[in-house]
Amino acid sequence: MKKSIWTTSMAATAAASMLALTACGGTAEEEDAQPAPSQTASEAATAPSTSPESSNMDMGMDHGSGGMAGHNPEGGPPPEGIETAADPTYPIDSTAVLTADHMPGMAGSEATITGAFDTTAYSVSYTPTDGGEPVVDHKWVVHEELEDPGEAPLPAGTEVVLEANHMPGMEGAEATIESSTEETVYMVDTTIDGMEMANHKWFVESELQPAE
């Protein structure tokens, strides 16, 4: 009887030992199965990232490209059919100061008025015909520099064809009108960053101020 009890006790002890080993083995397998982190803390700190601000900066840079590069320093005569202003604030041969920043170094430059006209001036966006980068919000193109434009003023969003040749690839380009103004429009002689510009087109009256 004592031998039977002892044998039963030994069997129970052995079974308990097997259960304990099995439990330990399962824990080790679960630890081995855990996925390794894809990036250490130091790697995460040094990894490059793209923030919304940096994306907007890139877009802004794209947005500015193609602005006034290659602008013709010899503007030539005004377009046919444009009406000369009868009593402009800045008459021909008077001097004014430019406040516009159409190109670097422009704002603050002195200019001599060579023409003053009553027309509609448009800001336009277009893609040059010579394969150049798109030009956004180019100021200015007057109504008489558009192909068969109809009655002025044309509303924003109107698709037009440019006949102006202010810059390479402009003439014949398809454009979209961004905005318009019916202020007096001026043509000027000026020097910007050492480059002499004759009959430069265009400045509207709000982009000029009297010279001291």
> Going by DSSP bridges, is the β-strand pair 110-118/195-204 parallel, antiparallel, or unpaired?
unpaired
Assessment of whether the complete model's pTM goes beyond 0.75: no
Secondary element (H or E) of residue 54: helix 52-64
Q: How far apart are CA 202 and CA 97, in angstroms?
A: 14
What is the pLDDT averaged over residues 93-102? 96
Query: 105-149 pLDDT, tens per residue?
Result: 999 999 999 999 999 999 999 999 999 999 999 999 999 999 999
Contacts of 7 (CB under 8 A, 6+ apart): none
Residue 35 carries which DSSP code? P
CA distances from 7 to 2, 3, 15, 20, 211 (A): 9, 6, 13, 20, 117
Domains and CATH numbers, the chain: 64-210 (2.30.30.1210)
Query: 37-62 pLDDT, tens per residue?
Result: 444 444 444 443 433 333 333 333 23
Instruction: Compare 136 and 63 and report the one with higher pLDDT.
Output: 136
What is the pLDDT averaged over residues 60-66? 33
Contacts of 178 (CB under 8 A, 6+ apart): 122, 123, 124, 125, 137, 156
Mean pLDDT (the chain, rounded): 78
Contact 68, 135 (CB under 8 A): no
- For residue 93, pLDDT over 80 is answered with yes
